[in-house]
């Protein structure tokens, strides 16, 4: 499971390296005021970029258990770990409710 977390970190770093360029090229490829040939050129540049550099490929994972499902973005942990931590008062400012 550790390799999945490493893979995700690599994808995040790749996306951060080219984020500005990716947004710029995407905006130019969808700009309707430019001629079709220029837009086509930029769309081909988008297609040539690596797929691992895409924002869609980034997966939110629990930083403790590496689980990919039911992740709370505020804490970056999954629901079962969140339940354990709130029950034992390990998260600051979060308390298990009871009524």
Both 15 and 39 in one domain: the answer is yes
Both 17 and 31 in one domain: the answer is yes
Q: In which residue are the tokens 């930083």 written?
A: 63
Q: Per the confidence metrics, is the pTM higher than 0.75?
A: no
Query: Residue 38's pLDDT is what?
Result: 92
Across 16-30, average pLDDT: 87
Both 40 and 4 in one domain: the answer is yes
Task: Show Cβ contacts of residue 95 under 8 Å, excluding neighbours closer than 6 positions.
Answer: 86, 89
What phi, psi does 65 have (nearest 5°)? -105, -5
For the ranges 36-40, 50-54, 73-77, the lowest mean pLDDT is seen at 50-54
Query: Residue 39's pLDDT is what?
Result: 92
**Which of left, alpha, beta for 36 (phi over 0: left; psi -120 to 50: alpha)?**
alpha
């Amino acid at each position: 499971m550790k390799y999945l977390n490493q893979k995700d970190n690599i994808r995040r770093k790749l996306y951060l390296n080219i984020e500005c360029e990716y947004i710029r090229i995407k905006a130019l490829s969808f700009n309707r005021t430019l001629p079709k040939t220029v837009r086509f050129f930029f769309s081909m540049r988008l297609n040539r970029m690596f797929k691992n550099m895409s924002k869609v490929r980034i997966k939110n994972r629990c930083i403790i258990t590496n689980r990919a499902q039911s992740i709370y973005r505020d804490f970056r942990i999954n629901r079962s770990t969140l339940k354990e931590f709130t029950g034992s008062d390990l998260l600051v400012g979060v308390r298990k409710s009871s009524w």
